[in-house]
Amino acid sequence: MAQSFCDVLYSFPIERIKFTPRPKVDSGLVKFKFKSVDHIASFANSLNFFDNMEELTGKIFRHKNKKLDSVPIPWAEFGIDSNLRPHHLSPENIIDTVHKLYK
Protein backbone atom coordinates (compact mmCIF):
# COMPACT_ATOMS: atom_id res chain seq x y z
CA MET A 1 0.00 0.00 0.00
CA ALA A 2 2.84 2.36 0.75
CA GLN A 3 4.11 2.14 -2.83
CA SER A 4 0.71 3.26 -4.10
CA PHE A 5 0.81 6.53 -2.16
CA CYS A 6 4.56 7.10 -1.71
CA ASP A 7 7.94 6.67 -3.31
CA VAL A 8 9.74 4.33 -0.93
CA LEU A 9 13.49 4.93 -0.74
CA TYR A 10 16.02 2.80 1.10
CA SER A 11 18.43 5.23 2.79
CA PHE A 12 21.09 3.19 4.60
CA PRO A 13 21.63 0.02 6.66
CA ILE A 14 21.53 -0.08 10.45
CA GLU A 15 23.52 -2.87 12.08
CA ARG A 16 21.89 -5.06 14.70
CA ILE A 17 24.51 -4.05 17.29
CA LYS A 18 22.90 -0.60 17.46
CA PHE A 19 19.78 -2.04 19.17
CA THR A 20 19.08 -3.27 22.67
CA PRO A 21 17.97 -6.02 22.93
CA ARG A 22 19.91 -7.06 19.85
CA PRO A 23 17.72 -8.51 17.08
CA LYS A 24 18.85 -11.44 14.91
CA VAL A 25 18.73 -9.38 11.69
CA ASP A 26 20.15 -6.09 10.44
CA SER A 27 17.79 -3.21 9.72
CA GLY A 28 17.69 -0.21 7.48
CA LEU A 29 16.21 3.25 7.32
CA VAL A 30 13.43 3.70 4.78
CA LYS A 31 12.18 7.10 3.66
CA PHE A 32 8.62 7.66 2.43
CA LYS A 33 7.99 10.58 0.09
CA PHE A 34 4.34 11.20 -0.80
CA LYS A 35 3.55 11.10 -4.50
CA SER A 36 1.86 14.11 -6.06
CA VAL A 37 -1.75 14.87 -5.22
CA ASP A 38 -2.61 14.44 -8.91
CA HIS A 39 -1.16 10.91 -8.91
CA ILE A 40 -3.11 9.87 -5.83
CA ALA A 41 -6.33 11.54 -7.00
CA SER A 42 -6.09 9.70 -10.33
CA PHE A 43 -6.98 6.39 -8.67
CA ALA A 44 -8.36 7.28 -5.24
CA ASN A 45 -11.57 8.88 -6.50
CA SER A 46 -13.81 7.13 -3.97
CA LEU A 47 -14.24 7.92 -0.28
CA ASN A 48 -13.96 4.21 0.50
CA PHE A 49 -10.96 3.57 -1.75
CA PHE A 50 -8.41 3.35 1.06
CA ASP A 51 -10.63 1.04 3.13
CA ASN A 52 -11.30 -1.17 0.10
CA MET A 53 -7.61 -1.30 -0.76
CA GLU A 54 -6.73 -2.18 2.81
CA GLU A 55 -9.33 -4.97 2.81
CA LEU A 56 -8.05 -6.42 -0.48
CA THR A 57 -4.38 -6.30 0.50
CA GLY A 58 -5.28 -7.93 3.82
CA LYS A 59 -6.96 -10.80 1.96
CA ILE A 60 -4.21 -11.41 -0.56
CA PHE A 61 -1.26 -11.01 1.82
CA ARG A 62 -2.80 -12.98 4.68
CA HIS A 63 -1.10 -16.06 3.27
CA LYS A 64 1.64 -14.41 1.25
CA ASN A 65 3.32 -17.65 0.19
CA LYS A 66 0.15 -19.13 -1.27
CA LYS A 67 -0.98 -18.52 -4.82
CA LEU A 68 -3.64 -15.95 -5.64
CA ASP A 69 -6.09 -18.72 -6.51
CA SER A 70 -6.51 -19.32 -2.75
CA VAL A 71 -8.31 -15.93 -2.59
CA PRO A 72 -11.86 -16.13 -4.02
CA ILE A 73 -11.54 -13.32 -6.57
CA PRO A 74 -12.08 -13.74 -10.33
CA TRP A 75 -8.43 -13.07 -11.20
CA ALA A 76 -8.75 -14.24 -14.82
CA GLU A 77 -11.50 -11.66 -15.45
CA PHE A 78 -9.07 -8.97 -14.29
CA GLY A 79 -6.25 -10.23 -16.54
CA ILE A 80 -4.15 -11.56 -13.66
CA ASP A 81 -2.72 -15.08 -13.53
CA SER A 82 -4.08 -16.80 -10.42
CA ASN A 83 -0.92 -18.94 -10.19
CA LEU A 84 1.08 -15.87 -9.13
CA ARG A 85 1.94 -15.15 -5.53
CA PRO A 86 0.84 -11.85 -3.92
CA HIS A 87 4.32 -10.30 -3.97
CA HIS A 88 4.32 -10.57 -7.79
CA LEU A 89 1.47 -8.04 -8.06
CA SER A 90 2.43 -4.44 -8.77
CA PRO A 91 0.74 -1.57 -6.93
CA GLU A 92 -1.05 -0.82 -10.22
CA ASN A 93 -2.43 -4.40 -10.35
CA ILE A 94 -3.83 -3.99 -6.85
CA ILE A 95 -5.30 -0.55 -7.60
CA ASP A 96 -6.99 -1.85 -10.76
CA THR A 97 -8.38 -4.84 -8.86
CA VAL A 98 -9.80 -2.56 -6.15
CA HIS A 99 -11.56 -0.47 -8.80
CA LYS A 100 -13.02 -3.56 -10.49
CA LEU A 101 -14.09 -5.33 -7.29
CA TYR A 102 -15.60 -2.37 -5.46
CA LYS A 103 -17.40 -0.49 -8.25
Q: What is the pLDDT of residues 3-24, one digit of tens each?
A: 888 899 999 999 999 999 999 9
Residue 66: half-sphere exposure toward Cβ, Cα within 13 Å: 10
Query: Could you tell me which of 52, 64, 34 has the C-alpha nearest to residue 96?
Result: 52
82 has pLDDT over 80: yes
Query: Average pLDDT, stretch 52-74?
Result: 89
Residue 10: half-sphere exposure toward Cβ, Cα within 13 Å: 5
Instruction: Tell me the CATH number for domain 43-103.
Output: 1.10.8.100
- Domain positions in the chain are 1-35, 43-103
